[in-house]
């Protein structure tokens, strides 16, 4: 791992306020749901899912999916390899897919296609961070926590070489060697 420092970009209180506001919007959107299946994309979304889910008041079930996208970066769509699948089927269910960061959009687009094929009733997406300047696939999550510039970020579940996931705030990595 290269020597680096982390400069804070989005503080704990700012994140908490935004998560609460997102939860209120999601609650309103799914107000009539019998059950909302919240699917967190591992590993980066685990902290966000935990905080967001605790602010939701609609009936919620929580599941996780771990996927890695691969393929030629110049292709418009990439394959997704499922490393850990959902525990339960989602046919006929209302589903909220929760992602840490949407960067090029390949991961989210591939995971959405995979989930859509399983026949959910409603399928929406919520991303904590969005880097629209990096997008290669035309795709906009329904809810976004924060739009950020093209920088490598860590914290609040997001890692650099598996480090920093436990940092309470989001920061940018600056290399010092
Ligand atoms: P995409 O398929 O949209 O290009 O990539 C999304 C995934 O790339 C995210 O779920 C995340 O795992 C990773 N990623 C994108 N930007 C960053 C970043 O700034 N920091 C870290 N740690 N991962 C990122």
CA max distance for the chain: 54
pLDDT more than 70, % of the chain: 94
pLDDT in tens, 75-88: 555 678 999 999 99
* pLDDT over threshold 60, residue 152: yes
Q: Residue 80 has what pLDDT?
A: 83
Beta strands (DSSP E) in 2-59 are 4-10, 36-42
Distance 12 CA to ligand 1 centre (A): 20
The reported pTM is 0.95
Q: How confident is the model at residue 174 (pLDDT cuts 50, 70, 90)?
A: very high
The minimum-distance atom of ligand 1 relative to the CA of 103 is: 3
Phi/psi of residue 76, each to 5°?
Answer: -75, -25
Which residue out of 72, 100, 140 has the highest number of ligand 1 atoms within 8 Å of its CB and is therefore the one to mutate? 100
Q: How confident is the model at residue 147 (pLDDT cuts 50, 70, 90)?
A: very high
Q: Residue 71 has what pLDDT?
A: 59
The 3-state DSSP class for residue 148 equals coil
Q: Based on the structure, what is the number of domains in the chain?
A: 1
Distance CA 118, CA 110 (A): 13
Q: Residue 70 has what pLDDT?
A: 66
**CATH number for position 43:** 3.40.50.2020
pLDDT in tens, 87-130: 999 999 999 999 999 999 999 999 999 999 999 999 999 999 99
Q: What share of the chain is helix, strand, coil (3-state, %, to 5)?
A: 25, 35, 40
Q: How far is residue 115 CA from its own chain's centroid?
A: 15
Beta strands (DSSP E) in the chain are 4-10, 36-42, 60-70, 79-84, 94-102, 122-130, 143-147, 153-154, 170-175
* pLDDT over threshold 60, residue 72: no
Q: Which domain holds residue 59?
A: 4-175
* Binding site membership of 155 for ligand 1 (Cβ less than 6 Å): no
* Binding site membership of 103 for ligand 1 (Cβ less than 6 Å): yes
Distance CA 156, CA 44 (A): 8
Q: Whose C-alpha lies nearest to ligand 1, atom 10?
A: 101
Which token pair is 90?
Answer: 């989602």
The 3-state DSSP class for residue 111 equals helix
- 63 noted as active-site residue: no
SS (H, E, C) 70-107: ECCCCCCCCEEEEEECCCCCCCCCEEEEEEEEECCCHH
pLDDT in tens, 53-64: 999 999 999 999
Q: How confident is the model at residue 168 (pLDDT cuts 50, 70, 90)?
A: very high
Q: How far is residue 98 CA from its own chain's centroid?
A: 4
The minimum-distance atom of ligand 1 relative to the CA of 99 is: 10
Q: How confident is the model at residue 1 (pLDDT cuts 50, 70, 90)?
A: confident
* Binding site membership of 158 for ligand 1 (Cβ less than 6 Å): yes
Q: Residue 30 has what pLDDT?
A: 98
pLDDT in tens, 6-22: 999 999 999 999 999 99
């Amino acid at each position: 791992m290269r020597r680096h420092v982390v400069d804070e970009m989005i503080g704990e209180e700012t994140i908490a306020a935004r998560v609460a506001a997102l939860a209120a919007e999601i609650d309103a959107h799914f107000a009539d749901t019998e059950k909302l299946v919240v699917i967190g994309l591992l590993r980066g979304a685990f902290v966000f899912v935990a905080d967001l889910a605790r602010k939701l008041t609609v009936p919620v079930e929580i599941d996780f999916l771990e996927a890695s996208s691969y393929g030629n970066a110049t292709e418009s769509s990439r394959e997704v390899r499922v490393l850990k699948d959902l525990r339960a089927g989602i046919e006929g269910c209302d589903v909220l897919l929760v992602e840490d960061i949407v960067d090029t959009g390949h991961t989210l687009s591939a995971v959405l296609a995979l989930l859509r094929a399983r026949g959910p009733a409603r399928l929406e997406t919520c991303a904590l961070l969005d880097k629209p300047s990096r997008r290669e696939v035309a795709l906009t999550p329904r809810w976004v926590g924060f739009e950020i510039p093209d920088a490598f970020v860590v914290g609040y579940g997001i890692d650099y070489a598996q480090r920093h996931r436990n940092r309470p705030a989001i920061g940018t990595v600056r290399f010092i060697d």
